[in-house]
Amino acid sequence: MQNKTPASKPGYFFKISVISMDKRLERILPKVQKPARYTGGEYNQILKDKSAVDLRVAFCFPDTYEIGMSNLGMKILYHTMNSLPYVWCERVFAPWSDMYEQMKTNDIPLYALESGDSLDAFDVIAFSVGYEMAYTTVLDMLDMASLPVRSRDRESLLPLVFAGGSAGVNPEPMAPFMDLFVIGEGEEMNNELLALLRKAKLEGWSKQRFLEQAAGIGGVYVPSLYDISYHDDGTVSEIRACSGAPERVTKRIVKDLDSVPFPVNPIVPSTEVVQDRVNLEIFRGCVRGCRFCQAGYIYRPIRAKKPETLIRQGIETLKNTGYEDLTLLSLSSSDYRHLGQVCDGLLEFCEPRSIGVSLPSLRADNFSMELMEKLQRVRKSGLTFAVEGGSQRLRDAINKNVTEEDLLNTCRIAFEGGWNTVKLYYMLGLPTETDEDIVGIASMADQVLHCWRQYAKYKNRGVRITISTSCFIPKPHSPFQWEGQISPEEYLRRVNLLRSSITARNVVYNWHDAETSLIEAVLSRGDRKVADVIEAVWRKGGRLEAWSDFFSYDRWMSSFAEFGLDPAFYARRTRPSDEILPWDMINVGVRKQHLVHEREMAYRAALSPDCRHACSACGAASLLEGGKCDE
Ligand code: SF4
């Protein structure tokens, strides 16, 4: 890693503030791995005078420093909340197991990195939750802050505990723990919520009064204002909104991405993190409509930044941080209409300074030699394609509009351009998948290998083709939200079928484990009853379970049994389309009828057009001024 903190930067030494560590912390830091995770004091962190602000926000990421510091949403909201003069927002991450043990042994509570103050000094505990497997860590962080984990046991208004992030589109499994959820994009909504909380704090409101008022802010879901009833078979019979709360909470979006502030001076971590680079968000939403993809639906409609905004923000951020890599981030970056223009503008600045520009994932259908040549001028990164299905029929069923010909053409261009490494991602267990589709994955890898033998520029370097599979997880608000997941045993059978079908030595096969996928499927489509299981798992020691080192399938299974809940009821059951779903009070903009239609299309292996070619009237445009998408 290069030195990313230019010493010539004015104010650098002023900005570094090693937190006011007490003696206990000083003693334990030399005993843990990567102590820089726990000290704060990074370049560009925001420090304020705590006596001069009305609200202190502990912005918590329920995973390690390295993961949280790579999260773009966290970077954006840290800056937007801190743009309010009466708010000081600080960062809090979950400690790794060694630090966790030391903190427990030495009686050190969870603390924020900027001030070093423990969480009892804060008015707001806000979580960013993008992944269901982080739920037990959320509870653990509340406990490390000496707070009761259930909202009903925290009687006073402060600290207000809320969560946002993509996992909130089905808030129900975490509903009893949160005072409220913010649904959708937080740039404007969080600041409206903080303005109301400031008023409530200064005027001494009760928690109940504040929650009832907060429910009137667009995008705010207050679970305690919704009564949920169940049928004898465990399905939801009624969702009833009380005390004036809206029947459905519509997610918030930022309508004009050019007009909202982008953090061009993000914090530069002092230790290596997962994404050690500038992440430049080029657009939100996706024009494609892959039927398994929750993100493609919950972030609709598409809103793009202007090329000049991107070039300016990219260059400013590079200047303010000293990073030597920049990634153009979005759900499908190669779909951005002005990609060539943005790459040209950025490369003009980046090339002479040896700064690399990359795209995180490419579609195999619109990749061009011109683009590839542009991006490889500085540094060549690996090629990654999310192909998802092993046959054209299956790819049509999931609306992944990529043909074998597209993929092979792209690979040919890449191999001719000097690439030697290709990663292909697939899912096993997609609706309508057959064994033939699985064998088709191996055949496609053989064809890619054949293509390399024909066209590779550097044959002497060899080729490496990696196939990765994960188990399909049906997700709320996608056309497959009603589908059942295959069992872990069936997933392993399909994995073994694929393994035995791969014969070439240059093809490596990795697969994601099935047990985590089962638990993720339960948490994704769970109801409020699942909260008891999450709490039980946490009480038995569950935390950081997104990491395989800490995940325990047995702990989850014993906890389901304790509460008489069957994971298969949530994960594997195919639900009728008229069943009330636990997340039906959340409106992400896309009409349920559209999802039903897309699911029917899947069973006919019929394609839907992408939004640039024809609008399928999914409903998301209603979130925009004028009710019309511009792509
Ligand atoms: S309203 Fe039409 S163009 Fe907009 S996201 Fe939906 S399908 Fe795409």
**311-354 tens-digit pLDDT:** 999 999 999 999 999 999 988 887 888 988 999 999 999 999 99
Instruction: Give nearest CA residue, ligand 1 atom 6.
Output: 618
Mean pLDDT over 127-136 rounds to: 97
CATH code where residue 451 lies: 3.80.30.20
Assign 3-state DSSP to the chain and report helix, strand, coil percentages, each to 5.
Answer: 40, 15, 45
Same domain, 314 and 401: yes
User: Regarding beta strands 325-329 and 356-358, do their DSSP bridges make them parallel or antiparallel, or are they unpaired?
Assistant: parallel
- Contacts of residue 554, defined as CB under 8 A and 6 or more positions apart, other chains included, come to none
Probe target for ligand 1 pocket from 284, 615, 622, 623, with the most ligand atoms within 8 Å of CB: 615
Q: Ligand 1: which atom is nearest the Cα of residue 301?
A: 5
Does residue 509 have a pLDDT over 70? yes
pLDDT of 366 reads 54
Strands, E assignment, 441-556: 464-471, 507-511
Cα of 517 vs centre of ligand 1, distance in Å, is: 30
Probe target for ligand 1 pocket from 255, 288, 300, with the most ligand atoms within 8 Å of CB: 300
Q: Ligand 1: which atom is nearest the Cα of residue 302?
A: 5
Strands, E assignment, 330-448: 356-358, 383-388, 421-428
Cα of 593 vs centre of ligand 1, distance in Å, is: 14
Probe target for ligand 1 pocket from 283, 612, 618, with the most ligand atoms within 8 Å of CB: 618
Cα of 611 vs centre of ligand 1, distance in Å, is: 5
DSSP sequence for 286-347: -SS--TT-HHHHHTPSPEE--HHHHHHHHHHHHHHH--SEEEEESSSGGG-TTHHHHHHHHH
Cα of 471 vs centre of ligand 1, distance in Å, is: 28
Domain that holds residue 157: 23-250
Instruction: Give nearest CA residue, ligand 1 atom 8.
Output: 611
In whole angstroms, how far apart are CA 246 and each of 222, 240, 431, 581, 630? 10, 10, 34, 17, 29
pLDDT of 10 reads 30
* 567: in domain: no
- 3-state DSSP assignment of residue 438: helix
Cα of 209 vs centre of ligand 1, distance in Å, is: 38
Averaged pLDDT of the chain: 91
Q: Which residues pair with 164 in a beta bridge?
A: 128
Cα of 173 vs centre of ligand 1, distance in Å, is: 30
606: which 2 tokens? 């019929």
pLDDT tier at 365 (50, 70, 90 boundaries)?
Answer: low
Mean pLDDT over 287-301 rounds to: 95
Same domain, 244 and 319: no
pLDDT tier at 6 (50, 70, 90 boundaries)?
Answer: very low
Distance separating alpha carbons of residues 390 and 608, to the nearest angstrom:
19
Higher pLDDT, 259 or 401: 259
pLDDT of 82 reads 97
Same domain, 310 and 202: no
Cα of 166 vs centre of ligand 1, distance in Å, is: 20
Same domain, 241 and 293: no
Cα of 600 vs centre of ligand 1, distance in Å, is: 18
Q: Say if CB 272 and CB 1 are below 8 A apart.
A: yes
* 571: in domain: no
* 199: in domain: yes
Probe target for ligand 1 pocket from 284, 611, 628, with the most ligand atoms within 8 Å of CB: 611
Of 250, 266, 300, the residue at which a domain comes to its end is 250
Cα of 335 vs centre of ligand 1, distance in Å, is: 15
Q: Ligand 1: which atom is nearest the Cα of residue 590?
A: 6
Q: Ligand 1: which atom is nearest the Cα of residue 287?
A: 8
For tokens 């962080």, the residue is: 141
Q: Ligand 1: which atom is nearest the Cα of residue 610?
A: 8
pLDDT tier at 571 (50, 70, 90 boundaries)?
Answer: very high
Cα of 475 vs centre of ligand 1, distance in Å, is: 20
Probe target for ligand 1 pocket from 629, 630, 631, with the most ligand atoms within 8 Å of CB: 629
* 349: in domain: yes
Which one-letter DSSP state was computed for residue 70?
A: T
Q: Ligand 1: which atom is nearest the Cα of residue 285?
A: 5
Q: Say if CB 422 and CB 414 are below 8 A apart.
A: yes
Probe target for ligand 1 pocket from 593, 598, 616, with the most ligand atoms within 8 Å of CB: 616
* 493: in domain: yes
Q: What is the pLDDT of residues 33-92, one digit of tens each?
A: 999 999 999 999 999 999 999 999 999 999 999 999 999 999 999 999 999 999 999 999
Does residue 631 have a pLDDT over 60? no
* Burial (CB count within 10 angstroms: exposed 0-12, middle 13-18, buried 19+), residue 263: buried
Same domain, 342 and 240: no
- Contacts of residue 103, defined as CB under 8 A and 6 or more positions apart, other chains included, come to 28, 95, 109, 110, 144
Cα of 630 vs centre of ligand 1, distance in Å, is: 9
Q: What is the pLDDT of residues 460-500, one digit of tens each?
A: 888 899 999 999 999 999 999 999 999 999 999 999 999 99
Q: How many CA atoms lie within 13 A of 150 on its CB side?
A: 10
pLDDT of 512 reads 94
pLDDT of 271 reads 85
Higher pLDDT, 530 or 10: 530
pLDDT tier at 381 (50, 70, 90 boundaries)?
Answer: low
Q: Ligand 1: which atom is nearest the Cα of residue 618?
A: 6
Cα of 20 vs centre of ligand 1, distance in Å, is: 51
Which one-letter DSSP state was computed for residue 579?
A: S
Q: Say if CB 356 and CB 382 are below 8 A apart.
A: no
- The least confident of 232-236, 241-245, 283-287 is 283-287
Mean pLDDT over 18-28 rounds to: 72
Q: Ligand 1: which atom is nearest the Cα of residue 629?
A: 4
Same domain, 173 and 227: yes
Same domain, 215 and 291: no
Cα of 222 vs centre of ligand 1, distance in Å, is: 29
Cα of 218 vs centre of ligand 1, distance in Å, is: 21
CATH code where residue 238 lies: 3.40.50.280
* 375: in domain: yes
Same domain, 365 and 478: yes
Which one-letter DSSP state was computed for residue 607?
A: -
Does residue 191 have a pLDDT over 70? yes
pLDDT of 362 reads 62
Q: What is the pLDDT of residues 609-630, one digit of tens each?
A: 998 889 999 999 999 988 888 7
Same domain, 159 and 297: no
Instruction: Give nearest CA residue, ligand 1 atom 2.
Output: 615
Q: What is the pLDDT of residues 443-456, one digit of tens each?
A: 999 999 999 999 98
* 87: in domain: yes
- 3-state DSSP assignment of residue 498: helix
Cα of 364 vs centre of ligand 1, distance in Å, is: 22
Phi then psi for residue 569, to 5 deg, are -60, -40
Does residue 21 have a pLDDT over 80? no
pLDDT tier at 155 (50, 70, 90 boundaries)?
Answer: very high
* Burial (CB count within 10 angstroms: exposed 0-12, middle 13-18, buried 19+), residue 514: buried
Instruction: Give nearest CA residue, ligand 1 atom 5.
Output: 301
Pocket of ligand 1 (CB under 6 A): 300-301, 611, 615-618, 620-621, 629
165: which 2 tokens? 């992030």
* 395: in domain: yes
Phi then psi for residue 466, to 5 deg, are -115, 125
Distance separating alpha carbons of residues 60 and 77, to the nearest angstrom:
11
Same domain, 237 and 344: no
For tokens 């047990």, the residue is: 515
Which one-letter DSSP state was computed for residue 159?
A: S
Same domain, 94 and 157: yes
551-554 — which CB contacts under 8 Å span 24+ positions? Answer: 551/133, 551/515, 551/516, 551/519, 553/515, 553/516, 553/519
pLDDT tier at 378 (50, 70, 90 boundaries)?
Answer: low
DSSP sequence for 212-261: HHHTTSTTEE-GGGEEEEE-TTSSEEEEEE-TT--SSEEPB--S-TTTS-
| pLDDT over 90 percentage in the chain | 80
Q: How many domains does the chain have?
A: 2
Same domain, 235 and 282: no
